[in-house]
Amino acid sequence: MMDPKFETESVALNLDKNSDELLECKGRIQGKYPIYLPSNSTFTEKLVEQAHIQTIHGEVGLTMAKIREEYGYRA
């Protein structure tokens, strides 16, 4: 049985599996398909934790800016 929160997010973000079986957010930005990282995954938690430490325990905005700088797509 699928998680109801995931079902809601899946529809809202128009998630679709790519050739590597990763979920991509389709339709938000033409030609750009960010990878979906579930908030409850260990990988996501470690990624955010690493960025938080690299920004010397910066606040949410600074931590997210670091993640986008490292892994985000270029518009």
Distance of CA 66 to the CA centre of its chain: 13
Quick one: 51 exposed, middle or buried, by C-beta within 10 A (0-12, 13-18, 19+)?
buried
Alpha carbons 17 and 27: distance in angstroms, whole number = 13
Alpha carbons 11 and 34: distance in angstroms, whole number = 15
> What does each of the 75 residues of the chain score in pLDDT, given as a tens digit?
567 888 888 898 899 998 999 999 887 567 778 888 888 889 999 999 999 999 999 899 999 999 988 887 555
Which pTM value belongs to this model? 0.70
The encoded tokens of residue 15 equal 């998630």
The encoded tokens of residue 6 equal 């995931």
